[in-house]
Homo-oligomer: A and B are copies of this chain.
Amino acid sequence: MNEVLRRQTNPANPPAHDRVYRGLRLQVMHGELTPGQALTLRGIGKQYGVSMTPAREALRRLTAEGALTLSASGRVTTPELNNDRIEELAQIRSLLEPELASRALRRAHLALIDRMESINDANARAIHLQDPVEYIRTNLEFHRTLYLRAQSPAMLGLLETVWLQLGPTMRALYTRLRRTTAPPHHRLILEALRAGDDAALRLALRTDVTQGLRHLQV
C-alpha cells in the first residue's frame, strides 16, 4: 500500500557529526566551557564515541559560526574576547534584539507571555541556586521564546551566532560577579509586551542587553 518507508534518514537517527555539533554548541552557548579552553579532535571523538572525522566536521562548523577560535596552527579553542570585541557584540545584540522583539510584538499573544513568565521564574530560581549554566540557559530561552514569534529565521540565526561567541565569556562574568537578584529588565519586557507598547519594548530590550554586558568589561 505504498508504505512510506523512512529507514534511517528522517526519524531520529542524526549523523554522528551532527550529534557532536549540537552537543558542543550547547556546551559553548551555555557557558559550560571556560574562555580559552582547548579542544582536540581525538579528545572530542573519545568523548562522543566517534572517530576524528565527525569531530573535525563539528569543530569546523562551530568555528565557522564564531563559536570557536582557530589558531594559526589549527588548534581549536573557545574564544577569549577582549573589551572591544565584547562591546561590539553587545552593540550587535542591541541592534538585532529590539528589532526582533518589535517584530514579535504583533504576534505575541497571552500564552506566549505566560510562557516567558514561567521561564523567567526558572531564571530567578537558577540565580537563587547559584547555577550559572542554568541561569544562562533560561535567560537565552527567555529571549529566544520571544524572538521565535518574529518569524525572522535569518535574523534569529545571526543573533544566535552572536550568543555563541559570548557564551564562554558570559559564564566567566557570572562567576565573577555572582549576581543574587534577577535581571530587572525582564519585568519591563513583559510589561511592554502586555501593553503592546513598541517603543517601551525596544527600550527594555536595549537596556537589558547593554546592562547585562556592561559588567563584563575587564
Q: Which residue of B lies closest to A70 (CB)?
A: B18
Q: A17, A63, A64, A88: which has the most chain B beta carbons within 10 Å?
A: A64
Q: Does A27 contact B (CB under 8 A)?
A: no
A92 and B61 form a contact (CB under 8 A): no
B65 and A152 form a contact (CB under 8 A): no
Apart from A88-B153, A154-B165: 20 A-B pairs, beta carbons within 8 A: A10-B72, A15-B74, A56-B57, A57-B60, A60-B61, A61-B61, A61-B63, A61-B64, A64-B64, A65-B65, A66-B154, A66-B157, A88-B152, A88-B154, A88-B155, A91-B155, A92-B158, A95-B96, A154-B162, A158-B161
Q: Does A181 contact B (CB under 8 A)?
A: no
CB-CB nearest 7 A-B residue pairs? A64-B64, A61-B64, A88-B154, A57-B60, A60-B60, A60-B61, A158-B158
Q: Does A217 contact B (CB under 8 A)?
A: no
Nearest CB on B from A211, distance (A): 20
A141-159 vs B, CB cutoff 8 Å, 1 = contact: the mask equals 0000000000011110110
Complex Cα distance, B89 from A181, in Å, reads: 38
Complex Cα distance, B99 from A10, in Å, reads: 42
State which residues 6-40 of A face B: CB under 8 Å: 9-10, 15, 17
B154 and A9 form a contact (CB under 8 A): no
Q: Does A85 contact B (CB under 8 A)?
A: yes
Q: Does A2 contact B (CB under 8 A)?
A: no
Complex Cα distance, B92 from A73, in Å, reads: 34
B57 and A92 form a contact (CB under 8 A): no
A85 and B10 form a contact (CB under 8 A): no
Complex Cα distance, B95 from A154, in Å, reads: 13
Complex Cα distance, B56 from A56, in Å, reads: 10
Nearest CB on B from A102, distance (A): 12
Nearest CB on B from A150, distance (A): 10
Q: Which residue of B lies closest to A53 (CB)?
A: B53
Complex Cα distance, B56 from A158, in Å, reads: 23
B92 and A154 form a contact (CB under 8 A): yes
Complex Cα distance, B85 from A112, in Å, reads: 24
